[in-house]
Amino acid sequence: MDSQELKSEALEALLTIIDSIPNPKKSLILDKNLNATLSSVASFSTLKEHGLDRIFWLQTPNLASSMPLNDSAVVYLASSYDYNCVKIISSHVQHVIETASASGSTGSSGSPDVHIIMAPEATLAMEQALEDASILGDCSVHSWPVYLLPSDGDLLTLNLPGGGFKDLYVNEASSPIYYGAQAIDALQQKYGLISRITAKGDGAQKLVDILLRKRDGRRTDLSSKLSKLSVEPSPEVQFEYRYSNIFVGTTIDQLIVIDRQADLLTPLLSQLTYQGLVDEFYPISDSGQVELPASIVNPPANSNQGNSSTSNASTSLSTETKKTTLGHAHGNDLFSTIRDLNFSMVGQTLNKVARQLQADYEQRHEAKTVSEIRQFVSRLGGLQTVHQALRFHTSLAEQLMTKVQDDEFNKSLEIQQNLLADTMDLKTIHLMIENMIGQGASLATVLRLLAIECLCNGGIKPKELTYLKQEIIQSYGYKHILTLQTMERLGLIFPRSPSVPNNFPSLRRSLNLISDQQQELSTEPTDTTFAYSGYAPLSVRLVQCVVDKQAAIRPRRFQTQSSSSGSAASGQASSALNTSVGWKGAEDIVRLVPGATVDQVQRSDTQVREGKLRKILTRNSPNREKTNTLVFFLGGITYAELAALRHVASKPSLSTNLIIASTGFINGQKVVSSNLL
């Protein structure tokens, strides 16, 4: 899949809308939620070439009174995911109309030239809000159909606020499911039907149902067009009608949809990769920006004058923060190298880069001739870029080190890992949580720990849970009675009951979720457990159950065999597992995971048989071409899960390329804060 092509098409669609506005002068009022999307497809110079010479933020306070109108058209670019944007636009347009009427600067129609571009589409709720404000007839509404856009080579995202978690599970809105289906359907219309769809979770099943209805709806529309033709349709039209429902593309071979509710445990855990830890302590926004201490983003220049004013300035600088984008402004190559590493390995990697950089700088002493000097100078710019990136990431890693050494974080991590592995008595764990409450630990940390215990142990004994709730309410306020009720409704914090099965111990054993072996820090990771220091994300194991069964599960009858014959038989069974498709071979395990299970084939029986035969014949071929698998996370994905999936995709033995997509990014803080009142 060509990610650049997706960006080019999105840019072309936007410029077509902008060029359709007759006024050559245009002022753009941009929703901050779309900043990352717009920046990824268009530069300011490109927008300026098409008449957008001024840009304002939609969320700017008192924008209506401070923005000069002149004679330019007013163009709003806003996200249809956020209903609050519509309210701001309605209020602002009313002010624009009143100001234009008072000054006489109206267009030929008697009203100011106002255009509203909604991404990805204009919704009925938005149009109703404009109509209620009596301004729908005074502005032109457009849709910019931009859904999944690449934010990295192997990552596509919808950039829903909060990953769509709150809308989907707390507010019980179906819009993330709808937009996810729209995005995948747009890919199918571009690249052809996806051969096989596997999904896990109730929300994932709803998404697949929408995809199938859209597929059948296009066939129905085509049938209706054929029936209205007064003449015999051309052979091309007849062919499209007969075979449109079985056409499959060659770009995307299969789709895996993972509903976040099928694995609520993983996002609650502390991420231990470099990028994941940054997100834990300095949350990365939906636009990809992170707010860091200003001393890290723009380090102060070295000064030998140690006077008091300089000392005060540095103290003030350390308390200031500044927004930046990881990777893009600070050495994308270096960031790509360390972002998915377990944090314990980041220092070693940065040290290697520093030594290599020093060796490269030392080569200036070896340059004797003019050509050698010229060659070194030509490399100097690149060396300085690496130097700046190294300084930035070293400072950030040092800052993260102080955070991970914090007593609250270490206690939280200890409790998490003991709950996952079931290696500590629950009374001891409850005593540790009580002490954290008494010491004033953040409410989000306490709620995360209680939710992790419930998901690992099938709830908390009612008497103990009642006591812990009382401690929380007395320490953090009575308003959190509703917070606890919301978390219980979501299945995060709940009392243990015989009617509620606890399947996590079985999943932990069957999917090898916990690693008993401590890997050397200097070696490359061999399993996805590196992302959480010993725990393999359940969501990633579910993906492996489809694309890499041998790494995720082993046939039970071979798990306890240690003889050589048993090992050979186990290897044969594992090979057979990897050649199976969909959930086949993992049905009993997947059944233990909450939510519906989907395995839908969008091909004819003949194509299925041909595909199986092709896989068998090319299984051991060194030159076989890998297929592409789209993995879509509904409800958000963590950076640690993304690192684990990249590790799975990097295995040479994997028979498919993984294209990772999601409604957005999420972490434990976002999960808990979506429930806080």
Give 608 or 97, the one with higher predicted confidence: 97
Specify the number of domains making up the chain: 4
Are residues 158 and 235 both part of a single domain?
yes
Are residues 411 and 398 both part of a single domain?
no
Chain centroid, CA 81 distance in Å: 16
Are residues 463 and 539 both part of a single domain?
no
Q: What is the CATH number of the domain that holds 448?
A: 1.25.40.850
- The bridge status of strand 289-293 relative to strand 149-152 is unpaired
Question: What is the per-residue pLDDT for 93?
Answer: 86
Specify which residues 193 forms β-bridges with.
248
The tokens describing 214, both together, are 């859209």
Are residues 259 and 283 both part of a single domain?
no
- Count of H-run helices and E-run strands, the chain: 31, 14
Give 89 or 622, the one with higher predicted confidence: 89
Question: What is the per-residue pLDDT for 303?
Answer: 43
Residue 593 has pLDDT above 60, yes or no: yes
Give 551 or 247, the one with higher predicted confidence: 551
Q: Are 193 and 215 in contact (CB under 8 A)?
A: yes
Are residues 285 and 256 both part of a single domain?
no
Give 607 or 303, the one with higher predicted confidence: 607
Confidence of residue 62 (pLDDT cuts 50, 70, 90): confident
Confidence of residue 309 (pLDDT cuts 50, 70, 90): very low
User: Per-residue pLDDT averaged across 141-168, rounded?
Assistant: 87
User: Per-residue pLDDT averaged across 462-487, rounded?
Assistant: 95
Residue 339 has pLDDT above 50, yes or no: yes
Residue at 600 is within a domain: yes
Q: Are 300 and 314 in contact (CB under 8 A)?
A: yes
Of 476, 500, 524, the last residue of a domain is 500
Residue at 234 is within a domain: yes
Residue at 160 is within a domain: yes
Residue at 431 is within a domain: yes
Are residues 347 and 223 both part of a single domain?
no
CA separation (Å) from 630 to 152, 156, 176, 188, 649?
14, 10, 18, 11, 12
Among 57-66, 411-420, 614-623, 629-638, the range scoring the smallest mean pLDDT is 614-623
Q: Are 366 and 372 in contact (CB under 8 A)?
A: yes
Of 145, 171, 204, the last residue of a domain is 145
Are residues 127 and 258 both part of a single domain?
no
Among 171-185, 311-325, 528-542, the range scoring the smallest mean pLDDT is 311-325
Confidence of residue 264 (pLDDT cuts 50, 70, 90): very high
Give 15 or 246, the one with higher predicted confidence: 15
Among 158-167, 305-314, 327-336, the range scoring the smallest mean pLDDT is 305-314
Give 262 or 22, the one with higher predicted confidence: 262
Q: What is the CATH number of the domain that holds 254?
A: 3.40.50.1910
Are residues 386 and 429 both part of a single domain?
no
Question: What is the per-residue pLDDT for 503?
Answer: 94
Question: What is the per-residue pLDDT for 228?
Answer: 62
Q: Are 630 and 194 in contact (CB under 8 A)?
A: yes
Nearest CA to 525 among 651, 417, 336, 347? Answer: 651
Residue 467 has pLDDT above 90, yes or no: yes
Compute the distance between CA of residue 151 and CA of residue 336 in angstroms, rounded to an integer.
13
Residue at 113 is within a domain: yes
> What is the CA angle 267-273-278, rounded to 5?
80
Question: What is the per-residue pLDDT for 559?
Answer: 43
Residue at 416 is within a domain: yes
Are residues 483 and 495 both part of a single domain?
yes
Among 248-257, 514-523, 619-628, 630-639, top mean pLDDT goes to: 630-639
Q: Are 663 and 158 in contact (CB under 8 A)?
A: yes
Are residues 400 and 434 both part of a single domain?
no
| Confidence (pTM) | 0.87
Per cent of the chain over pLDDT 90 is 47
Question: What is the per-residue pLDDT for 193?
Answer: 86
The three-state (H, E, C) secondary structure of 568-604, written as one string: HHHHHHHHHHHHCCCCCCCHHHHCCCCCCEEEEECCC
Sign of the C-alpha dihedral computed for residues 432, 435, 437 and 442 taken in this order: negative
Question: What is the per-residue pLDDT for 153?
Answer: 59
Residue 416 has pLDDT above 80, yes or no: yes
Confidence of residue 304 (pLDDT cuts 50, 70, 90): very low
Give 544 or 581, the one with higher predicted confidence: 544
Are residues 387 and 444 both part of a single domain?
no
Residue at 559 is within a domain: no
Confidence of residue 104 (pLDDT cuts 50, 70, 90): low
Compute the distance between CA of residue 434 and CA of residue 431 in angstroms, rounded to an integer.
5
Q: Are 464 and 430 in contact (CB under 8 A)?
A: yes
Q: What is the CATH number of the domain that holds 280?
A: 3.90.830.10
Residue 237 has pLDDT above 70, yes or no: no
Sign of the C-alpha dihedral computed for residues 198, 199, 204 and 205 taken in this order: positive
Nearest CA to 96 among 29, 44, 34? Answer: 29
Confidence of residue 627 (pLDDT cuts 50, 70, 90): confident
* Residue range(s) defining the domain that contains residue 420: 407-500
Confidence of residue 128 (pLDDT cuts 50, 70, 90): confident
- The bridge status of strand 114-119 relative to strand 254-259 is unpaired
Q: What is the CATH number of the domain that holds 106?
A: 3.40.50.2060
Are residues 192 and 141 both part of a single domain?
no
The tokens describing 19, both together, are 């060029």
Question: What is the per-residue pLDDT for 289?
Answer: 83
Compute the distance between CA of residue 581 and CA of residue 254 in angstroms, rounded to an integer.
10
Q: Which amino acid is at 247?
A: F
Residue at 579 is within a domain: no
Give 559 or 100, the one with higher predicted confidence: 100
Of 121, 145, 169, the last residue of a domain is 145
Q: What is the Rg, in whole angstroms, of the alpha carbon atoms belonging to the chain?
A: 28
